[in-house]
Amino acid sequence: MSTAPLLSPTEEKQEETLAEESWVTILWDDPVNLIPYVIYVLQMLFAFSKVKATELTMQVHRDGKAIVAAGAREDMENNVASLHRYGLWATVGRA
């Protein structure tokens, strides 16, 4: 007979928190939007500094994608919807 180990309330809370925060917003490269526009959108939506927004935009340009946020699934879905409203390509993924 096998039994799973019991978790303390603290361990259960940590597992729940990990599950909630194991999602990411992925911004994808596209052939339409110009680099300055993507930088602007990242600054407006995520309150990134110009340097951080530029670094992420160049990563998207160079690698084809970049993770721009991590957190709960619902928050990441909201991020993706916001990016779509600005005409950018984005998806939600597992961390």
Render pLDDT for 4-59 as a digit per residue (tens, 0 to 9): 556 666 666 655 555 567 999 999 999 999 999 999 999 999 999 999 999 999 99
- Give a yes or no: residue 43 inside a domain: yes
* CATH number of domain containing 58: 3.30.1390.10
- Give a yes or no: residue 64 inside a domain: yes
**Spatial separation of the C-alpha atoms in residues 58 and 56, rounded to whole Å:** 5
- Give a yes or no: residue 12 inside a domain: no
**Spatial separation of the C-alpha atoms in residues 40 and 34, rounded to whole Å:** 10
> How many domains does the chain contain in total?
1
> What confidence tens digit (pLDDT) does each residue in 60-83 have?
999 999 999 999 999 999 999 999
Model confidence, pTM:
0.79
**Spatial separation of the C-alpha atoms in residues 15 and 84, rounded to whole Å:** 31
- Give a yes or no: residue 27 inside a domain: yes
**Spatial separation of the C-alpha atoms in residues 2 and 52, rounded to whole Å:** 50
Dump strand ranges (E) for the chain. 23-28, 65-71, 89-94
- Give a yes or no: residue 73 inside a domain: yes
- Give a yes or no: residue 86 inside a domain: yes
Q: What is the DSSP letter of 49?
A: -
- Give a yes or no: residue 32 inside a domain: yes
- Give a yes or no: residue 57 inside a domain: yes
Domain hosting 41: range is 23-94
